Amino acid sequence: MTKEFDLERRSTDYAKAVIRLCKSIPVNSINDRLTSQVVGAAGSVGANYREANDSLGKKDFIQRLKIARREAKEASHWLELILEANTLKATEIKPLISETEELKNILSAIIIKAESHNKSS
């Protein structure tokens, strides 16, 4: 997974990597539920970040970023459960968990900066 600064591209690449992982996981009742959830959450990270970039103002921008961060937290949860159900896929899942944490931390930093600028305005 590339670590680039373009967060729109990076979040899309992340969602694509999650999709590729989910396509490689065995189909069964547990995995079907978990993969459905993680694909939605991972895709929402980038979608909400893009919406933030097209926001109507600072409050909307911050709110969309918070939604993106919440989706990243949710994706992390589902990835951990997928790991629990598919321990043989650990080498594929663990890097995605790390990328999820990095995205969450980047979003948090942007939120903190935006909120501090919003208060000083």
pLDDT at residue 110 tops 60: yes
- Using pLDDT thresholds of 50, 70 and 90, give the confidence band for residue 56: confident
Could you give the number of structural domains in the chain? 1
Mean pLDDT along residues 92-103: 98
Which structural domain, as residue segments, surrounds residue 40? Answer: 7-120
**Residue 100 and residue 10: Cα distance in Å, rounded?**
11
Residue range 68-86: average pLDDT?
98
Residues in the chain: 121
Share of the chain above pLDDT 90, in %: 90
- Residue 29 CB burial class (10 angstroms; 0-12, 13-18, ≥19): exposed
The mean predicted confidence, pLDDT, of the chain is: 94
Tell me how far apart the alpha carbons of residues 98 and 85 are, in angstroms, rounded to a whole number: 18
In a domain, 41, yes or no: yes
The CATH code of the domain that includes 105 is 1.20.1440.60
Whole-number percent of the chain with pLDDT over 70: 93
Q: What is the pLDDT of residue 119?
A: 72
Structural domain includes residue 2: no
Residues 102, 72 contacting (CB under 8 angstroms): no
The amino acid sitting at 98 is: S
Distance between first and last Cα of the chain: 37
For tokens 């944490």, the residue is 101
**Does the structure show a pLDDT above 70 at 89?**
yes
The two three-digit tokens of residue 16, written as one number: 């694509």
Residue 42: pLDDT above 50?
yes
The reply to whether 24 falls in a domain is yes
In this structure, is residue 1 part of a structural domain? no
Q: Among 3-7, 9-13, 56-60, 108-112, which is the least confidently predicted range?
A: 3-7
